[in-house]
Structure 1
Amino acid sequence: MFLITTSIFFIYFGILFWYSNAIYYSKRLKNVTYNHNVSIIISAKNEEYNLPKLIKSLTNQSYPKNKYEIIIANDNSDDKTEELLNQYKKTHKNLRSINIDQTPIGWSSKKWALTKAIEASSSDIILQTDADCIPRNKWIESIVTCFDDANVNFVCGPSYLSHKESFLDKIFRMESLVQEAMNAGSLENNLVLSCTGRNIAFRKEHFNSINGYVGSEHIQSGDDDLLLQKFALKTNGRIQYSINPESLIESKAPINFSSFLKQRLRYASKGLYYFTIKTTLEFKTIIIFLYMINTLFLVLLFSFFHYGNFLYTLPIFFKIAADFLISFIFISKLNQYWSIRAFAVLSFLFPFYVTIIGLLGPLIKIGWKDK
Structure 2
Amino acid sequence: MLQTGNRIKVSVLVAARNEENNIERCLESLNELNFPKENIEIIIGDDNSDDLTEELVARFIWDKPQFKCIKITKQLAGLKGKANVLAQLAHEATGEYFFYCDADIAVQPIWITQMLAHFRRETGVVIGVTRMKHVHLLADLLSMEWLFALTATRFFSLFKIPITGMGNNMAVTREAYFAIGGYEKIGFSIVEDYTLFMGIVKQGFDFQMAYKREVISISEPMNTFHELLRQRKRWMQGVMDSYWLTRLSLFVSSLIVPILLLISIWLPINPLSSIIQYYILITGISLTAVLMLRQFDLWKAALLFWFYMVSIGLIMLVNYYLPSKTIWKGREY
TM over 0.5, shorter chain: yes
CA distance in 2, matches of 1:356, 1:270: 16
Secondary structure of the structure 2 residue equivalent to 1:39: strand
Q: Which amino acid aligns with 2:122?
A: N
Q: Which amino acid aligns with 1:265?
A: K
What's 1:189 paired with? 159
**Pairwise CA RMSD:** 2.6
For the structure 1 residues 107 and 86, does the alpha-carbon distance in structure 2 shift closer, same or farther, using more than 3 Å as the test? same
Map 1:317-356 → 2, pairs under 5 A: 317-337=276-296, 339-356=298-315
2:200 equivalent to 1:231: yes
1:333 Cα deviation from its structure 2 partner: 2.2
What's 2:33 paired with? 61
For the structure 1 residues 105 and 66, does the alpha-carbon distance in structure 2 shift closer, same or farther, using more than 3 Å as the test? closer
2:140 equivalent to 1:158: no
2:208 equivalent to 1:248: no
CA distance in 1, matches of 2:92, 2:156: 33
Q: Which amino acid aligns with 2:320?
A: G
Q: Which amino acid aligns with 1:155?
A: V
Map 1:49-88 → 2, pairs under 5 A: 49-88=21-60
What's 2:18 paired with? 46
Contact 1:34 1:63 in 2 (8 A): no
Post-superposition CA distance 1:145-204 (Å, at most 9, x none): 222x2121100000012262x222221221121122122222122110013211000011
CA distance in 2, matches of 1:206, 1:216: 13
Q: Which amino acid aligns with 2:152?
A: M
Post-superposition CA distance 1:44-72 (Å, at most 9, x none): 01112212111111011111111111000
1:269 Cα deviation from its structure 2 partner: 2.7
Contact 2:138 2:223 in 1 (8 A): no
What's 1:16 paired with? none
Q: Which amino acid aligns with 1:135?
A: V
For the structure 1 residues 83 and 324, does the alpha-carbon distance in structure 2 shift closer, same or farther, using more than 3 Å as the test? same
Secondary structure of the structure 1 residue equivalent to 2:43: strand
For the structure 1 residues 88 and 246, does the alpha-carbon distance in structure 2 shift closer, same or farther, using more than 3 Å as the test? same
For the structure 1 residues 233 and 304, does the alpha-carbon distance in structure 2 shift closer, same or farther, using more than 3 Å as the test? closer
TM-score (norm 1): 0.80
Q: 2:246 aligns with which of 287, 301, 310?
A: 287
Secondary structure of the structure 2 residue equivalent to 1:240: strand
Map 1:1-371 → 2, pairs under 5 A: 37-104=9-76, 106-147=78-119, 149-162=120-133, 164=135, 166-214=136-184, 217-220=187-190, 222-234=191-203, 236-274=204-242, 283-284=243-244, 286-300=245-259, 311-337=270-296, 339-361=298-320, 363-370=323-330
CA distance in 2, matches of 1:215, 1:313: 50
Secondary structure of the structure 2 residue equivalent to 1:103: coil
Q: Which amino acid aligns with 2:197?
A: L
Secondary structure of the structure 2 residue equivalent to 1:192: coil
Q: Which amino acid aligns with 1:152?
A: T
CA distance in 1, matches of 2:168, 2:31: 17
Deviates more, 1:287-296 or 1:86-95: 287-296
Q: Which amino acid aligns with 1:194?
A: T
Q: Which amino acid aligns with 1:315?
A: S
Secondary structure of the structure 2 residue equivalent to 1:141: helix
1:305 Cα deviation from its structure 2 partner: 12
Report 1 or 2 for greater relative contact order, CA contacts < 8 Å, sequence distance ≥ 6: 1
CA distance in 1, matches of 2:143, 2:100: 21
TM-score (norm 2): 0.88
Post-superposition CA distance 1:261-281 (Å, at most 9, x none): 22111111344444xxxxxxx
Tell me how many residue pairs correspond in the alignment.
325
Once the two structures are aligned, what percentage of the paired residues are identical?
Answer: 22
CA distance in 1, matches of 2:198, 2:278: 27
Secondary structure of the structure 2 residue equivalent to 1:146: coil
For the structure 1 residues 105 and 364, does the alpha-carbon distance in structure 2 shift closer, same or farther, using more than 3 Å as the test? farther
List gaps (5 residues or longer) in structure 1: 1-32, 275-282
What's 1:25 paired with? none
Contact 1:163 1:254 in 2 (8 A): no
Q: Which amino acid aligns with 2:183?
A: Y
Contact 1:178 1:327 in 2 (8 A): yes
1:73 Cα deviation from its structure 2 partner: 0.3
Contact 2:131 2:217 in 1 (8 A): yes
CA distance in 1, matches of 2:12, 2:202: 24
What's 1:7 paired with? none
